Structure 1
Amino acid sequence: MRANFRMQRLFVETDITLDTPIAATADQFNYLVNVLRLAADAQVLVFNGRHGEWRARLAFPSRKKLMLEPVEQTRPQPEPSDLHYLFAPLKTGRLDYLVQKAVEMGAGLLQPVMTQHVQGKITSMDRLAANVIEAAEQCGILSVPPVMTPKKLGELLDGWPGDRRIIFCDEGDEGQNPVPILGAIRETRLALLIGPEGGFSEEERRMLRSLPFVTAIPLGPRILRADTAAVAALAIIQASIGDWR
């Protein structure tokens, strides 16, 4: 069932059950009442990443308190995506874009990775989580991917489960076409690794290429910015071996 984009969508933390009112946060109150000018009995869509999507009615038990009353489930909760997205942090504005696009493209888990040439840093995990929620609200997504705490690349690889293949976007690869390489992958549990703005170091490239659970792919004949490469890689993976097939 496709998302309804004619109604406002809100993420809520609490459980959603029929006729059990949910207290709106201060930010939600301000947006729905002061910005959108919605009144009592207006309807919105709510979701929490666990119980599907529900149509909810606005109710005002007091002048400064807003309750969201679930009246009907509009979409059941789907199975979450199993594609893990591993990325080196970028500078703040581009990092926001990177996270939002990863959610839109179907990433099921976001893992920041600290590499030798990384230029950005994670200054706020709350900001990353807010970007995830914003993308889910705007794009009709019901499964909200978790954002993990940053890890150094070596630490991540040392504890990596061998049954999940890492697809490593190698800007130094001499090839141009990733499709045949991706078509040869037989594992269904996958992760995509995108490097920093400065690229992976030669030491990191050698380490990644030496691991049996890593597959290196090129991304065509052009040099792409890290945030562009992320969207391109997610698209080609979803189209060739992911959930676009």
Structure 2
Amino acid sequence: IRSLEGGSITISSQNRSGFVRRSTVCPDANTLRVNGMELYFGENISGIDPVLYSLPPKPPPGATDIRFSDDTKFCMLNDCLIEVTGDGKPLKFDCNIKDGEEWQLVDESGKEYNCSDVQEKELHIESGYIALKKITTLTMPQSFSLSPAYPNPFNPSTRIRFTVLEMTEVDLSVYDLKGKLMDKLVNKTFEPGTYVQSWDAQFFSSGVYFLVMETGTFSFRQKLILMK
């Protein structure tokens, strides 16, 4: 049962209804298994319903919990952040990487661990964050672009990836349905490359917003849905 707000649930034992089990295993995704818990990640993977990969609230201190920082077990970016809550025991990481890609784990001290093909790593981390990054060959972008925000719908934060073709000033802002400016995320000059910007909407009301990216010559717009 997934609920987006408070309320009551009535369960009757008189009516027996069938249910459909929906698999959350994505065959095209890379897999990171941590002490038996699985996380999925990878770029350019289509047909994903973020709700299926969302996780319940974190368990109390002392329990082991592994999740991406936006409370899901799926990341579609090439730079993901894993939140670790441990019980003091070593964490065993099993990497299963598709298509010859190369990824790495980076702990809070900056130490890097390769995560490619099928490998097993053991890290001593009680709690904190681990970065999961794709190792890519630096190439020049071919065009300006604004990728779909992920997750979307979201609560309370989402990540926005955009690409800049040449040195230019970029304005990234959020508007409500009436066109009122609600938040300005970025307004500065960028070198050519791909960037990720987060929007933390914890102080905003649930609803539909519009994300607008403007450069000197291009303008992009997409819809964001905040569900609290």
Larger relative contact order, structure 1 or 2 (CA cutoff 8 Å, min sep 6) = 1
Normalised-by-shorter TM-score class = under 0.3
Structure with the largest fraction of strand = 2
In the superposition, the TM-score normalised over structure 1's length comes to 0.25
